[in-house]
Amino acid sequence: MENKIKELQKILNIKFNDADILIQAITHKSYNSKINYETLEFLGDRVLGLTISNILISMYPNEKVGILDKKFSNLVNKKTCYEIGIKLKLNEFVLVGNSKKKILKIENKIISDICESIIGAIYLDKGLKIANEFILKVWKDYLKISIEAIIDAKTKLQEFSLKKFKSLPEYKVVSNTGPRHKPNFKVGVKIKNIKFTYSSGTSKKNAEQSAASLLLNKLDLS
């Protein structure tokens, strides 16, 4: 365990004062039902949100709030946290329990949650300044990417569907899960002769935009 934690600290480029906080941050409740990452994930989600909000306001001081909200949602959603978690190789450090000697599958959600719990651990152990610096470093590529295409995906898909099929895209909400402070909407979209394409988001609107963007990619129209 000691070597594992040292390796993780090296990847994060942060030396923790209290290594137990980092161990807690990678511990799933199946491994330890009392001391696990859930509280740190809750905290890390807030720290991430605050940091990304401040960065966006600095980057786009004159931007409309609606556009900032869309940019924010794309930067802090489960998909982005999962991708960053994989880049940091967090999947190699997760502590999960086992059932009948079969190790539990490390789902995408666990990786994205641990990405946020790591941020919570950094905040508790090193303070807000270091947490902010960490987020800015690992999110920099995502901050550079323009998401205007994603924001306008519904309009683009609608124009294509009307022109080709004389009909509007059809959207449907498949599920609405997660706590009130952090909902997760799964939405499907289809156009004539094309099966439903599904995606998720922190709001119905964001999920629709994401699903539309994925369908445009399938159609080579993105």
Q: What value does the mean pLDDT of the chain take?
A: 89
The CA distance from 19 to 149, in Å, is: 42
Domain 2-145 and domain 149-218, same fold? Reply is no
Does the pTM exceed 0.75? no
Task: Give pLDDT, residue 168.
Answer: 95
User: Element (H or E) spanning 42, and its range?
Assistant: helix 38-59
- How far is CA 151 from each of CA 7, 56, 204, rounded to the nearest angstrom? 38, 16, 13
The CA distance from 210 to 70, in Å, is: 11
Q: Give the pLDDT confidence of 65-111 residue by residue, as tens digits.
A: 877 888 898 899 999 999 999 999 999 999 988 754 445 567 888 99
Q: Does residue 189 sit in helix, strand or coil? A: strand
Q: Which residues are catalytic?
A: 45, 116
- What letter represents residue 5's amino acid? I
- Considering the domain delimited by 2-145, tell me its CATH architecture: Orthogonal Bundle (1.10)
Dihedral pair phi/psi, residue 170, rounded to 5°: -110, 125
CATH number for the region 149-218 comes to 3.30.160.20
Query: Which stretches in the chain have pLDDT values below 70?
Result: 99-105, 146-151, 222
Task: Give pLDDT, residue 151.
Answer: 54
Where do the domains of the chain lie?
2-145, 149-218
Task: Give pLDDT, residue 138.
Answer: 96
